[in-house]
Structure 1
Amino acid sequence: MTVMEQRDAYRPTPPPAWQPRTDPAPLLPDARPYRVLGTEAAAKADSELLRRLYAQLVRGRRYNAQATALTKQGRLAVYPSSTGQEACQVAAALVLEERDWLFPSYRDTLAAVARGVDPVQALTLLRGDWHTGYDPYAHRVAPLCTPLATQLPHAVGLAHAARLKGDDVVALAMVGDGGTSEGDFHEAMNFAAVWQAPVVFLVQNNGFAISVPLAKQTAAPSLAHKAVGYGMPGRLVDGNDAAAVHEVLADAVAHARAGGGPTLVEAVTYRIDAHTNADDATRYRADGEVEAWRDHDPILLLERELTGRGLLDEDGIQAAREDAETLAADLRARMNQDPALDPMDLFAHVYAQPTTQLLEQETQLQAELDAEAAGPEGAVR
């Protein structure tokens, strides 16, 4: 059956091109980022959830610090820290059900760890050992994505396929503000809205695409406003307010799971550390700007709320810090062990059925390794 033959597919007198397909007003984000901490809404927040978020934030901050130190010790090739963005990372992981999928970017290692990925395995890519050091299917966490925004169409495809199969699954895709300038972002948003795929896009607007500030990337009122052009809701949230990020993402996930389609969430946050350990951030931003954001630290905001309401005391703070130190010590000890690598693993997990060319390359490498092991007498001449 062709499109022309389908019932109601062809209309001799289509509506005028200027007529909006939907009312844009409900899709528009709020004028200011949504907040919970420090407002009346905080009193309604689940106290157990707030304490859980706090513990994960403290662990995440220590994890970032330890991973950054490992780069200086030569144990990691590179590490894109999410210090200052931990509220986005933790909320994204905790808001999902076990059956849902998380699609992280290269900066979202902490989100993967908070989702249950082993901390060492989460760093394997950044160590240069494997393309992905963990089983994506076991954790429902896609591989950390280094190319900007290419994980977004993958998330849409998985979410759309799950809906076609009747699976009750939501995909949450994370991306930075720089990634919204990529074509993959446009394609993913457009497909998601047209298909009404159960996917949530979380844009962590940390102010810079490496050294390029947001003002040089877009003239839109906010990144959340971009959602309207695709026909999906846009939400603007304070990315350092863990309770607010969790609430907004929870609403978006529930909306997607109920068949309401995708949502674009822009979390306004700040990258405290440099882009990576190879970047000198002092060349494009002032120290005063960084210090101003330290006063809006996600851990400080949540700790202030919890202690002010009598939900956290010094013992609780110390317990969270000790738990974080245990995590760091274990990570440090295990990362200081040289991994046992097998060069033949280069050919594993490439294709379900290896190609002829891949088999030839595998045979060639094995011959070279055998000759090297045999010494000078066995060397290929």
Structure 2
Amino acid sequence: MYITFLLAMKGTALYNLASAVLLLCTAVLLYRTKTSICIPAKFLTIPYLVFACGLTLSSVLQGEANNIVKVLHYIYITLPLFLMYAGGRCFVRHDVIYKAMAVAAGITAAVCISSCLDPHAWLDGRFSPESHPNVTVQLLLLPVPFVMVALYKLRASKLWTAVNIVSLLVILMAAFLTRSRGGLGGFLVGLLILGTLSWPVLKSGWSYKKTAVVSLLLAVFMTLISLFVALNVFARTGSDQGRLYLLYTSVRMFEDHPLCGIGFDNWSREYPRYIHPESNEPHLTHAHNDVLNLMATTGALGAGGYVFFSVMTWLYLVKRLTAQPREAMLWAMLWMFLSLQIHGFVDISVQYNQSARMFFGMLGLTLAIADKEREIV
């Protein structure tokens, strides 16, 4: 149930209940078996701690109680990384995991279908049952790589195959209706990168270093191509120019508060003081870029920790992928990571609470499954 409502677009109350049950069951099992708590490898855990400590220190130095509370709440949102890793190591049953993913896709598809006739689910002609089309597209597309893994793993069952195919078609159509260039672009670029890497990694056995270098070059090249297409084929003149003005705004905020930023939750309050003179968007709530937003709001401490964590996560996933190229969950996780990061160039992605919860939770589950499989081999 935890996996289902981690990935489903709706069901926050059930997710909270399921997380409490999973935490309790894991704690009881570890106590009864006298087993120590499992955490991901230090290659990933240490960068996570650097990120979390950087955010916390920036808010403490900034001094406003509201920002300290917001940062601590965000860190709480990321803790599924450890809960899912420990739970996955204790309770891994592949058939249950893949069926839970399929059920999550079915719930999301049902939400999309029921929302289509609701006028409040549309914003300027864009499908948006959540707060904004850019948020909606993340909640729709981030789970898709794992639903595709479930489709492959449950292919022997006609019923589960039919459920997965119908759900995927509905979700992809709904994602297209959001008309979110960044979300759709990140999803497609991630797919193209993995598709390009699949043959050399699976058949030629590329090394970790070669795969890391090539994947980085592909990410940079394909992201630039997607930005070029978005700006020239799907241009939104006022909005695109406004994003450039946000670079100016973010840098000015950072220059005035280089160590700890203006405060994790203070962008809206401070933005009018720093707005570019020619900008026609006076009410923006964030910098439309993950790194710039963290630079402005949490300074070098928060942004530096995030960049360090992101780079190390990417390297670790590539390292594990080259060591276990047949583990489908690793391919899905890298796809989710790339989609989130590329979308983060033109919006905030990992800073949306539900997207962060989904990302960190699936990262923990993926590593738990991969580690368990490696031990069996």
TM-score (norm 1): 0.26
The structure with the largest strand share of the pair is 1
Which structure: larger Rg? 1
Bigger share in helix: 2
Q: With CA pairs under 8 Å and 6+ residues apart, which has the higher RCO, 1 or 2?
A: 2
